[in-house]
Copies of this chain bind each other. A is one copy, B any other.
Amino acid sequence: MGDKTHAKEMTALLVIDPYNDFISEGGKLWDRIKGVAEGNHCVPNMLRVLQAARKASLRVFYALHRRYRPGDYETWTYIVPVQRAGWLSKAFENGTWGGDIRSEFAPQPGDIVVQEHWCSSGFANTDLDLQLKKHGIHKLIVIGLIAHTCVEATVRFAAELGYEVTMVKDATADYSDEMMHASLHINLPNYANSLVTADQVVDTIGDL
């Protein structure tokens, strides 16, 4: 095996929260991200990156927010605002369409779907770090929702835990342009090794 094989084996695609509630017409949060998401073609770009990754046989991981279940949060002594908001909205409710992954993004055999997380980072209190190590992954290509919460949290944790990240800046969206800007231009450049377009990353993946 040569370097190229190894580069491919140590790189994975990480898909964050491709729930209907976020990215499908009729989803609970779609109306709030629609403006940004349609503006940068977020969903089609996510799909193109996913398809390129599958074609190149990159391992695909899913980091998913806790799907709301009755009883969640009720017994907690301590809670933070983003959790209280989730409790109120019951977004990604377990067993409902909103809590299903949008069909084109459904996990395939061989994909790794990690434990659901309770706040914003796909790494916190889950088996994401373990699963990446079990597969020998050191580099992540990140797509998904939404930029300044779950995506940024996951990229920040990835950096803290030793991973290198390629962030696909037009395969994410947010509630406002200001939030996108804060994430993509102020914070992520400190933690992601590169920020690229879907076009660029599809080319790169093809060359792996």
Contact = CB atoms under 8 A, between A and B. Distances in A.
A141 interface: no
A190 B152 CA distance: 13
A24 interface: no
B121 A156 contact: yes
Interface string A77-111: 11111100100000000000000000000000110
Interface residues of A, number: 59
Contact of A80 (B2, B80, B159): B159
A77 B134 CA distance: 6
Contacts of A127: 115, 118, 125-126
Nearest to A158: B80
A204 interface: no
A81 B190 CA distance: 5
A191 interface: yes
A125 B160 contact: yes
Given A3-B1, A179-B186, A186-B179, A78 B134 contact: yes
Contacts of A157: 124, 160
9 contacts: A77-B134, A77-B138, A78-B136, A115-B115, A124-B130, A125-B126, A129-B162, A156-B156, A179-B186
Interface of A: 1-3, 6, 59, 71, 75-82, 85, 109-110, 112, 115-116, 118-121, 124-127, 129-130, 133-136, 138, 148-149, 152-153, 156-157, 159-165, 178-179, 181-182, 186-187, 189-193
